[in-house]
Amino acid sequence: MTWWLWLLLALAALATFVVIGVQLWRAVRRFFAAAAEAGELLQRLAPTEDPPSPALARPVLASPGELGVALNRREANLEARRLRRWRRADAAHERWRRVGLRD
């Protein structure tokens, strides 16, 4: 090969390295900017010395009476859901029978 072809290949390789280097540099800068933002966010979210407000510190569990009412309501809802599901399945089977897909 002639000398100018070798020169062209070397310049193309250099240009490729420059393009890859610039993209890598930009990605690294973006990464460090995001890391700095994350650090600032962690500093803002750091725990404070203030006691929790009473509105946020209320008890999670219900009283036994409220718990019984909630459980009864849940059982009623589940039974109603089972009944609706059974009715939908029955209606679908009836449609299939009319079309001839079921015996």
What letters, b where the CB count within 10 A reaches 16 and e where it falls short, cover 54-87? eeeeeeeeeeeeeeeeeeeeeeeeeeeeeeeeee
Q: Round to whole Å and give the CA distance between 28 and 21.
A: 10
Q: Round to whole Å and give the CA distance between 100 and 12.
A: 72
Predicted TM-score (pTM) of the model is: 0.39
The predicted-structure confidence for 46-74, as pLDDT tens digits, reads as follows: 777 776 666 655 566 778 788 889 999 99
For the chain, domain boundaries: 1-46, 72-103
The predicted-structure confidence for 5-61, as pLDDT tens digits, reads as follows: 999 999 999 999 999 999 999 999 999 999 999 888 888 887 777 766 666 555 667
